[in-house]
Amino acid sequence: MTVIFIGMKHCGKSTHGKAFAAAVGWDFLDTDDMLCDIYNRRNSCRLNVREIFNRIGEEGFRELEEEVMAALLTQQDDRVVSMGGRMPVNEAVQEQMRQLGFTVFLKLPVAVLFERVRRRGLPSFVDPARPLESFTELYLRREPYYEKCADLVIELENMPREQASEIIIKRIRENIDHAR
């Protein structure tokens, strides 16, 4: 089985995904890392996700996302996947997510997410002239896709990481056990 974490940048997909993977003894994969590995191996370079997107544009990036999804679908091991924030917006990826596994949307208030993003440096998709507004607009565009793709939505407030991980692990276990 695969448990997939989706949501906006800095919602805790990797942090809580790793905690869940450790709790159940499964491998952890990050689609951003997979995407970078594919691109960098192919082009003999070392670029991060933002640099790759800027270099190849939205269409090329979407194709790489689809390649990552195809690679995930070929493996059937028990694992946890942290999915890049853009991937659930890609229609081809949406269609394949149900085949891949159980999807969890980590939902936090926009203000909490923006503060985390701001502290770590504004990404290129945020307009520096109106950062909160542009981030909020992006969130509002993406949220319906996250909701549509999710088997489980976990709403979190700004709480300590350990407490949030405990809630997430408990809710996923309850839902997976109930689905079986």
- HSE, CB side, 13 Å, CA atoms: give it for residue 63: 6
Q: Is the pLDDT of residue 162 over 70?
A: yes
Residue 179 has pLDDT above 60, yes or no: no
Domain boundaries, the chain: 2-174
**Residues 102-133: pLDDT tens digits?**
999 999 999 999 999 888 887 777 888 999 99
Superfamily of domain 2-174: P-loop containing nucleotide triphosphate hydrolases (3.40.50.300)
CB burial of 127-162 (b: ≥16 within 10 Å; e: otherwise) equals eeeeeeebbeebbeebeebbeebbbbebebeeeeee
* Closest C-alpha to 39, from 28, 54, 24: 54
Per-residue pLDDT of 16-52, as tens digits, reads: 999 999 999 999 999 999 999 999 999 999 999 989 9
